[in-house]
Amino acid sequence: MAIPSVLFVCMGNICRSPVVEAVARAEFARAGFPAQVASAGTHGYHIGDGADPRAIASARAAGYDVSRHRAAQVDAATLGGFDAVLVMDRVNLRDIARYCSGAKPASPQLFLPYAGIDDGEEVPDPYYGTAQDFERVIELARAGVLGLIRRGRLGA
């Protein structure tokens, strides 16, 4: 049986999605949940750049490593290679539709509903925020990833 794969998507791939990717990689391994994880952005603003230093610091403080991350932009070929495509907010969920033409990806979905918390359905973008906003992304990432593990599978 093939190992399932999940792509986490945000706008620039330097704050939210790389943090969720790092949390997923670590928590999936701890739980013995086999999955391949990656992240990308809907926009090419930061292709090749590392994660935002504030994302690196907040992740490190919580025990996760995003220091080797390099931003990538999603495209139809990328989408077609994943069993699940989980997006951080509605704007990027809408934007990702333009990359689906010609691809056969899993139907993109919002990530946060997997957290099972009553905190909206979006992971808020911390880019223009404070250190506490980046810490909140870690909390939401952990809750969503643990929800995926409880669910026990990825994809449809």
CATH code of the domain covering residue 14: 3.40.50.2300
- Is 55 contained in some domain? yes
Span 3-12, mean pLDDT?
94
Spatial neighbors of 16 by CB under 8 A, at least 6 apart, are 8, 10, 55, 88, 123, 125, 126, 137, 141
User: In the chain, which ranges are continuous DSSP H helix?
Assistant: 16-31, 53-61, 76-79, 90-96, 131-151
User: Using one digit for the tens of pLDDT, what is the confidence trace for 73-88?
Assistant: 998 888 888 989 999 9
- Is 52 contained in some domain? yes
Which residue segment(s) compose the domain that 124 sits in?
A: 5-151
- Is 135 contained in some domain? yes
Q: State residue 147's pLDDT score.
A: 94
- Is 118 contained in some domain? yes
Share of residues in the chain with pLDDT > 90 (%) = 72
> Mind telling me the catalytic residues?
10, 16, 125
Could you give the count of Cα atoms lying within 13 Å of 16 in the half-sphere of its Cβ?
A: 29
Contact 42, 11 (CB under 8 A): yes
Span 115-136, mean pLDDT?
91
- Is 23 contained in some domain? yes
Spatial neighbors of 119 by CB under 8 A, at least 6 apart, are 112, 140
Does residue 29 surpass a pLDDT of 90?
yes
Does residue 105 surpass a pLDDT of 70?
no
Q: What are phi and psi of 85, to 5 degrees?
A: -125, 110
Q: State residue 97's pLDDT score.
A: 77
- Is 156 contained in some domain? no
Q: What total number of domains does the chain contain?
A: 1
